[in-house]
Every structure is written in structure tokens, then in C-alpha cells.
Amino acid sequence: MATIFNLKPIDKRTRGTVLDENHQPSPPATTLVYAVDQRNAYAMLISLYSALEKSKGLASVCVLYSGHDQDRVRRLLERTCGAISVRLINAIEELRRLKGKTLPIGTIGDVAYLKFLVPEFVETPRAVFLDADTIVLSDLRDLYQQNLQGRPIGAVQDWLVPTVLCQNSPIREYLNQGDDQPYLNSGVMVMDIERIRCMDLLTAAGKYQGIKVRYSDQDLYNLLLVGNWTVVDPVWNFPIDATLVEVSRRELHGQLWSERKISHYMGTKKPWIFPFNILAANRDFVTCRQRSSLPYWIPTPFSSSSLRYYAGYVRRKFGTEF
């Protein structure tokens, strides 16, 4: 069973619309969800700090965690969140159960599995999911209240893989050629928890056992939800690294740079890893880290965290995972 730490009391108002002092309906409070392991726990805390700084309506936070140093993460969460309701869920046992099913994402990592566990642990009807490598630059209430048009997920169309049948798509061979639809990026999602729970995506994923995926859970989400998700404004999931943008969309990327609402450090140039932590393009992360009260931490080239990162990069680049 998962170990659940309710670090702050859960505000029951987050379950729906509430009334203000004049008995007028007010927007529902925003629930924020992360799925992290030990490698990106620190980045998640910086991302969470940015969300707390910008989002006036943020009421609760849920962190699904697969590491063994949950005491340290819990202390830092308490320090970061203040009075915000927060739950830290150590889901190691659930991960072992899922890995026994031999899903297509089996060789990628714990975070991919944790994303599919979100409906099991989130108690509110809707939530905003963020990858750890994001920095929030605008109030998340605008994203939280997106009209999903009766669909389970709202997300940004991927900047590098625009459609499921395009040249860059890793899943094109598993779909009928008449099914060309937008391809979502799973790093930022508005999730209708009840609809996703009813769909039971993990069971549905069983028919894809043994397939070769490139973008982990993202490929699986696109296979399971092709044509059944809502496209939101691209400024809500904005890639900082322009090389991860399809050539035909780079002009749009440049035009929207100043309008970005969530910076996403996709790819391998993570702003907390040397030497990428000194790049000017990563200033959103660096300045947010400096404003936070979290312990100062930038890995050196030979720190254990950096070495683990480089080893993982080599495996992904030259190994069999892709």
C-alpha cells in the first residue's frame, strides 16, 4: 500500500465551487499534481515554488513520489507550501505492482508509471498535472478552468511531434493511416479525474504490451486518447530549447516567447544540471530558485546527481531504450 502523508489538512472546498461572503459562486480552487522520483525531486520543489508564487487560487498539492528519502522531501514540501494543503504519496508498492504487468513503458522509469496512478490518489474532480522540469509564470486558475469539451484531458499540442502520423511521430505505425490527430505533450495536463478514472487507462494499455515507445508515457497517452483530448493554448507548455521545435513551427515559437505561461525544460538540457545551469535561456528556473527559500543547490560536473544524469543520458542516447 502507498504511504500517504497529509502534510496539511485537506480543504473540502477544493471539491467544487464555493461561495464567497456575498454568496456569489467563486471559481473552484486549483489542485496541482506532480509525479517525481529522487532524480527530479529538487526540480519539482522549484516548480512548485513558482506555482505558489503565481497562482492565487492554488489550494492543494499532491506529489506522487517513488524515492526512499521521503522524510527530506516532506520537510522541504512543508517549508515550501506554507498553509497550502499538501499530500506526499510514496507509491513504491504500487509501482512494483504495475511493473509486474509488463506495460509498454517498462524500461523508461518510475515517473511514467506514477502519471497513470494520479486518478487513484487525487481526491478532487479536476487537477493540473505538471512535470518537474517546468516553471510557472502565470496564474494556473486560467489553465485549471479550461473547457475540456467533455474530454478527459486538456493539453498542448507537442511542438516537435504535431500529429500522431507526422514524420516525427514514434507511434505512427500503431495507428490506422486515416486517424491523423494532434499529438499531445504530457508534461502539462488539465485532468478530469473522474473521466480518466472511468476509462481505466492502465487496463486499456494492456493491448500495447511489447511495443517500442520513444517518449515514455507520452506515447501511451497518445495511443489511448487519440482524438479524445482537448487542445489548449501552446503558451501553457512552452519549450525553452528551440531545437525541440519542429522547423515549421519555430517562427511561432519565437513570436510566443514573451507570452509563455509555463516554461518547460524538455529534453536533456535540464537547468539544474551542469553546464546547462549557466545558459541564459534557463533564467526562468535560475531566478525562481534564487527567490525561493530552498537550500542553494547546483550540481558540479562530478557530483553524484550529475554523474547519474550523465549515465542516464548515455543509456538513452546509445542504449536500447529508444
Q: What's the pLDDT tens digit per position in 179-210?
A: 789 999 999 999 999 999 999 888 888 888 77
Structural contact between residues 84 and 8, judged by C-beta atoms closer than 8 angstroms: yes
What per-residue confidence (pLDDT) applies to 108?
63
More confident of the two residues 267 and 151: 151
Q: Spell out the domain ranges in the chain.
A: 3-235
Direct distance between the N- and C-terminal alpha carbons of the chain, in angstroms, rounded to an integer: 32
Question: Given a cut of 70, is residue 313 above it in pLDDT?
Answer: no
**Cα separation, 77 vs 83, whole angstroms:** 11
Question: Given a cut of 60, is residue 14 above it in pLDDT?
Answer: no
More confident of the two residues 1 and 112: 112
Give the number of residues written for the chain: 322
Question: Given a cut of 70, is residue 309 above it in pLDDT?
Answer: no
What per-residue confidence (pLDDT) applies to 253?
96
Measured CA angle at 58 (ends 151, 24), to 5 deg:
80
Determine if the pTM surpasses 0.95: no
Q: Which CATH class is domain 3-235?
A: alpha beta
Beta strand 30-36 with 126-130 is parallel
Q: Which of 91-100, 154-163, 242-251 has the lowest mean pLDDT?
A: 91-100
Q: Which of 7-16, 44-53, 235-244 has the lowest mean pLDDT?
A: 7-16
Question: Given a cut of 50, is residue 25 above it in pLDDT?
Answer: no
